[in-house]
Amino acid sequence: MVSGMSDVSALFEPYTFRSGIQVRNRLVLAPMTTTSADPDDSVSAAELEYAARRSGGVGLAITAVGYVTPGGKGFHGQFGAEHDGRLDSLRALAHAMKQAGARAVLQIFHAGHQAPPELVAHDVTSASDVPSSQPGRAASGVPVRPLTAAEIQDIILDFGQATRRAVEAGFDGVEIHGANGYLIQQFVSAHSNRRTDEWGGTLENRLRFPLAVTDEVQRIAAQAGRPFLVGYRFSPEEPHEQGLTMHDTFALLGALREKNLDYVHVSLQDFAGRPRRGGHPERSRLEQIAEALGDTPLIGVGNIWTPQDAAQALNLGASFAALGRALLLEPEWVQKVQSGRAAEIRTTFTTADRESLTLPEPMWNMLTGFMIKDRLVDAR
């Protein structure tokens, strides 16, 4: 029972997923880039400390994203899940996140055209030859190479093998990262996917790759021999003229709904924000996404700072509220709310607080470059 906080008591209701995995509450550690892996792309000791502390109160803890194949690495300081030599590294991360009672989920991806050229042997690949719109990537001058049909099939299998490693490492599930403009989203978007084969053109064809990845991940998960979660993360809209609209997103959600996933996780800057293109302009995207998913659980995220923010996300249709920057600033956010000490939640920090917040130094350096009004802006 949450003392004096009856209006947010729904946040602390347990839940059992379709796969059989049980969680103690509806609060989630959002996946956040740490840029802090060891030089060999193993999970660092600092990352283990960061993850362990922030998994202490949540029901579900999602890792920073790991890449599934060498050509899919997305940024410096990222840990890998691309070969069996990573198993010890992944086991340590799973253990760190689970030791305080959270269920641990490994997020997996391929960066596609967002990969820094120097990290992928200057062979930047995507659905088509459309470059990334990110200034740093676009300025590299390295052309983007469309993946061959055979390479697409190999990457699908790579997602499956990363899932197998997650099982062997002791994770409770995996989250397919189909959001934030990475490879899976690049296939869905008509802006970045200009293919004319079975993987592009019509919306049905553009959905073929994410659904094939999902099928392969679920196939491997079914062999785990124990309950094992499969989730999928997506971004609902893009700013490009030919980019994703809510129409595209509703089609994706309809297809994912048929997959009987454990959950779908929407990537939003503001959980209560309204759509820009498509859908009902006067209703939040979160509400409309929840309706489109039907009985598939939804994780909502974006600008959730207070217990009331998290409760509102549930009221808008989310099954879970993910905490990102709030847990960076206050690692004991969940425990303080649950014990009726929400007034003690940290809302500001100083440049002397890195060690007390258990933040890896590279992550801290990135975050302190994005401070505004004594809070952190989204650095993912």
CB 65 within 8 A of CB 33: yes
Tokens, residue 197: 């084969």
* 1 domain residue, yes or no: no
Catalytic residues: 182
Task: Classify residue 297: in a domain, yes or no.
Answer: yes
Q: Is residue 157 part of a domain?
A: yes
Distance (Å, whole) CA 188 – CA 238: 11
In this structure, the strands spanning 320-323 and 27-29 are parallel
- How high is the pLDDT of residue 215? 98
The closest alpha carbon to 274, from 248, 244, 237, 240, belongs to 237
SS (H, E, C) the chain: CCCCCHHHHHHHCCEECCCCCEECCCEEECCCCCCCCCCCCCCCHHHHHHHHHHCCCCCEEECCCEECCHHHCCCCCCCECCCHHHHHHHHHHHHHHHCCCCEEEEEEECCHHHCCHHHCCCCEEECCCCCCCCHHHHCCCCCEEECCHHHHHHHHHHHHHHHHHHHHHCCCEEEEEECCCCHHHHHHCCCCCCCCCCCCCCHHHHCHHHHHHHHHHHHHHCCCCCCCEEEEEECCCCCCCCCCCHHHHHHHHHHHHCCCCCEEEECCCCCCCCCCCCCCCCCCHHHHHHHHHCCCCEEECCCCCCHHHHHHHHHCCCCEEEECHHHHHCCCHHHHHHCCCHHHCCCCCCCCCCCCCCCCHHHHHHHHHHEECCEECCCC
In a domain, 241, yes or no: yes
Indicate the burial class of 265 (C-beta count within 10 angstroms; 0-12, 13-18, 19 or more): buried
Distance from C-alpha of 105 to C-alpha of 93, rounded to nearest angstrom: 10
- Identify which of 290, 313, 289 has the alpha carbon closest to the alpha carbon of residue 300: 313
Is residue 361 in some structural domain?
yes
Q: Mean pLDDT for each consecutive 10-residue tract of the chain (380 residues)?
A: 65 98 98 96 97 97 98 97 98 97 98 97 97 75 95 98 98 98 97 97 98 98 98 93 93 97 93 86 93 96 93 96 94 96 90 89 83 42
Structural domain for 60, as ranges? 6-376
Euclidean distance between CA atoms 103 and 278, whole angstroms: 35
Whether residue 12 lies inside any domain: the answer is: yes
Smallest CA-to-CA distance from 24 within 32, 16, 34 is with 16
CATH of the domain at 296: 3.20.20.70
- Counting the structural domains of the chain, the total is 1
What are residue 62's phi and psi, to 5 degrees?
Answer: -110, 130
Handedness of CA 8, 64, 169, 56 (dihedral sign): negative
* Model pTM score: 0.94
Phi-psi group of 121: left, alpha or beta (phi > 0 → left; psi -120 to 50 → alpha; rest → beta):
left
